[in-house]
Amino acid sequence: MREKKFIHIVDTTLRDGSHAVAHQFTEEHIKTIAKGLDDAGVEYIEVSHGDGLGGSSYNYGFSALTDEEMLKAAGEVIKRGKLTVLLLPGIGTHRELELAADCGAKAVRVATHVTEADIGEQHIRMAKEMGMEAFGFLMMVHMVPPEKVAEQALLFESYGADCVYVADSAGAMLPSDVKACIEAVVKRVKLPVGFHAHNNLGLAIANSLAALEAGATFLDATCRGLGAGAGNAQTEVLVGVLDKAGYETGINFYKIMDVAEELVEPIMQRPQVIRNASLMLGYAGVYSSFLLHTYRAAEKFGLDPRDILVELGRRKMVGGQEDMIIDVAYQLSQRKALKEGVSLGEAG
């Protein structure tokens, strides 16, 4: 029998999943889930604020724990897997990366908007100098043609990255889009290529499979799909699907299902389903992390969250621009007030 092709899985329940719990993971959550993932055989276990190291803020939400507390908690229980962190240059800096390395992080994913890989050069080089595995992670790839993604992936390769990721951060891509994008990248770069899915259009697993068929060898997933927007590819589902499709992940199927059901599900604040606003994220191509912030702004300004998301999509906002949700909500509420003939009496 032919040997099964090995697919590397990065479980990001404790990073992308952080968005879905408004960054309120406790030390106990992190310890139990990281230990469960490690025991199940997950190779990369990503732990960070949803917006990466240094993400705790007004703009993205303050986390219950500091970066150091989160990483130390996970570091204590991870024995086989690699403690992985996310860094968005412009939000986190080399200072947080050094701290993460001190706390035992073995891999870092340096994430930039799909056209801005060069702002991550210093961090990729620094990670390599510190002996870490370094991933270049291109976000919001649906906004540009596949050739542009490949060009930026090449930049990450030139900085010394070990792997380059293509992220459908808005969950806006169809399997055919994913295939074209991954193919373009695989053709140009020598590095292994990964794919990060969001389920806003209900396609996270299908898109992950399409990525593998196009030559990707790394995939992201979260238990119960816990993540920004409608969540990510569901780890336990992906493990089952990949097994059926003839791939090897090194993850024990029963054990990962148990982690999802016994450890992750009880701490979920709401079911990870595709509600209307998350569907709009995928449809309008808006960064998935905007979801909960948009609900809050819609309530504060008395608006339909879908109107805010459509306007954000029209303005081509990129990952990290959560502040523009307030900007859009304010402008829409002013327009609405004008229509209704009410003056809010604001200056400026």
SS3 202: coil
What is the Cα–Cα distance from 303 to 227, expressed in whole angstroms?
24
Q: Is 268 in the site for another protein (CB under 8 A)?
A: no
Looking at residue 41, its amino acid is G
Task: Kindly tell me which of 43 and 322 has the beta carbon lying closer to another protein.
Answer: 322
123 is catalytic: no
Q: Quick one: which segment of 38-46, 214-222, 228-236, 314-322 binds another protein (CB under 8 A)?
A: 314-322
For tokens 């303005």, name the residue: 315
Q: Is 228 in the site for another protein (CB under 8 A)?
A: no
Of 165, 219, 172, 216, nearest to 44 by C-alpha is 219
**Shortest distance in whole angstroms from residue 330 CB to another protein:** 5
Q: Contacting another protein (CB under 8 A), which of 24, 122, 158, 252?
A: 122
Q: Which two tokens stand for residue 65?
A: 């724990």
Q: Is 115 in the site for another protein (CB under 8 A)?
A: yes
The footprint of another protein on residues 269-308 (CB under 8 A) is: 300
What is the Cα–Cα distance from 196 to 227, expressed in whole angstroms?
11
The footprint of another protein on residues 318-337 (CB under 8 A) is: 318, 320-321, 323-324, 326-327, 330
**Shortest distance in whole angstroms from residue 305 CB to another protein:** 18
SS3 9: strand
Q: Which of 8, 19, 49, 113 is catalytic?
A: 19
Site string for another protein, 38-77 (x = CB under 8 A): ----------------x--xxx------------------
Task: Kindly tell me which of 126 and 238 has the beta carbon lying closer to another protein.
Answer: 126
Task: Kindly tell me which of 124 and 256 has the beta carbon lying closer to another protein.
Answer: 124
| 326, 197, 67, 161: CA torsion to nearest 10 | -120
What is the Cα–Cα distance from 240 to 185, expressed in whole angstroms?
27
Task: Kindly tell me which of 187 and 300 has the beta carbon lying closer to another protein.
Answer: 300
**Distances from the Cα of 52 to the Cαs of 56, 73, 155, 311, in angstroms?**
8, 16, 21, 26
Q: Is 89 in the site for another protein (CB under 8 A)?
A: yes
**Distances from the Cα of 298 to the Cαs of 43, 62, 277, 303, 329, in angstroms?**
39, 20, 11, 5, 7
CA quadruple 113, 114, 117, 120: dihedral positive or negative? positive
Task: Kindly tell me which of 131 and 345 has the beta carbon lying closer to another protein.
Answer: 345
**Shortest distance in whole angstroms from residue 73 CB to another protein:** 23
What is the Cα–Cα distance from 313 to 308, expressed in whole angstroms?
9
Site string for another protein, 3-42 (x = CB under 8 A): ----------------------------------------
CA quadruple 54, 273, 235, 224: dihedral positive or negative? positive
Q: Is 91 in the site for another protein (CB under 8 A)?
A: yes
Q: Is 94 in the site for another protein (CB under 8 A)?
A: yes
| Residues annotated catalytic, as ranges | 19
The residues binding another protein (CB under 8 A) are: 54, 57-59, 89-91, 93-95, 113, 115-116, 118-119, 121-122, 300, 315-318, 320-321, 323-324, 326-327, 330, 346-348
